[in-house]
Amino acid sequence: MLTDKTTTQQIINAIPNPLIVTDGSKVELCNKNFLEFFDFHSIDAFSEKHNCICELFQDKENHFSLSSIDNNTVWTEYIFNSKEQQKVSILCKNNNSHIFHLKVEQINGNYLIVFTNITADEQNPKLKDMAYHDHLTKIFNRQMFDMLYLKELENKKRHGDHLSLIMLDIDYFKALNDTYGHDIGDKVLVALSELITKHLRTYDIFARWGGEEFLILMPRTDKATAYQKAEELRQILDEHSNEVPHFTASFRVTEIKEYDKEQSAFIRVDKALYQAKVKRNDVVQL
């Protein structure tokens, strides 16, 4: 039978990203991908050369390094408590710099750190933009929304803030496409995206979920406030007129609860689709 230590090592070795467990100074545990990436045959070999992984963080603009904090602050605690996702530049083997996003979690007084290599994205911003934005409307795509949603879920659990979700889709969009053609349908999608973007806060998260369906995630917002925003947006769309035909949208609103799992809130707003579609051009809250 495997020992607990052996089992833990096998589990973390299965994780494709470099991973360590540290007290903020010494690396207590790491996976094989960490050792391979930083070119060490064992954790002891790494510890002999470096007191802490943070020694390898380079001072670069918009990147976290030890110069970003004062001497009395533990860097792992700082990143763990930060609402912003931190990225670091690390000098790796062959004197090549790689850029990582750091995901930090607390485990029994230590910190588990997962390194996600984003070097290619950072070196080619255009490709990064294409990967995370919808090509037609230029707002976030589903992939980016999923990433930001998980981050906001963590913030909610950590800080207890309100978090609300709005789902909307264009009424009778198929009929609009059949009547005016897909080029006009595309223009309607772009017009909706531009109108809604203008009336959201900078930290609201707006994405095209697929087809004519869109999502808005509103941090630090309770359901009543999100409902008011949805009603405001519904009215703006209904009253707006430009080069595209008149269109309306139906909205569903819910607040993310402490007991919600990753997909349960989406299931909840999706179930409200029928209620919103009975009347069309309506807002339903759950």
The reply to whether 212 belongs to the active site is: yes
State how far the Cα of 57 lies from the Cα of 59, in Å rounded to an integer: 7
In the block, which residue shows the tokens 């045959």? Answer: 41
How far apart are the two ends of the chain, measured CA to CA in Å?
Answer: 49
Query: Of 6 and 17, which is predicted with more confidence?
Result: 17
Out of 98-102, 235-239, 271-275, least confident range:
271-275
Residue 284, classed as helix, strand or coil, is: strand
Closest CA to 149 of 163, 161, 159, 137: 163
List, for residues 213-242, the tens digit of each pLDDT value: 999 999 999 999 999 999 999 999 999 977
Q: What is the DSSP string of 44-107?
A: HHHHHH-S-GGGGB---TTS--GGGS-TTS-HHHHHHH-SSPEEEEEE-GGG-EEEEEEEEEEE
Exposure b/e, 179-194, CB count within 10 A at least 16 = b: eeeeeebebbbbbbbe
221 residue type, one letter: T
Out of 42-46, 127-131, 132-136, least confident range:
127-131
List, for residues 135-151, the tens digit of each pLDDT value: 999 999 998 998 899 88
Q: What is the CATH architecture of 4-123?
A: 2-Layer Sandwich (3.30)
Domain spans in the chain, listed from the N-terminal domain onward: 4-123, 127-285
Among candidate residues 105, 212, 239, 262, the one labeled active-site is 212
State how far the Cα of 82 lies from the Cα of 66, in Å rounded to an integer: 15
Determine the average pLDDT of the residues in 242-259. Answer: 89
3-state helix, strand, coil in the chain (%, to 5): 45, 25, 30
State how far the Cα of 47 lies from the Cα of 41, in Å rounded to an integer: 11
Q: Is the pLDDT of residue 2 over 60?
A: no
The CATH class of the 127-285 domain is alpha beta
Q: Tokens in use for 83?
A: 């609402």
Determine the average pLDDT of the residues in 235-259. Answer: 90
Q: What pTM does this model have?
A: 0.59
State how far the Cα of 204 lies from the Cα of 227, in Å rounded to an integer: 14
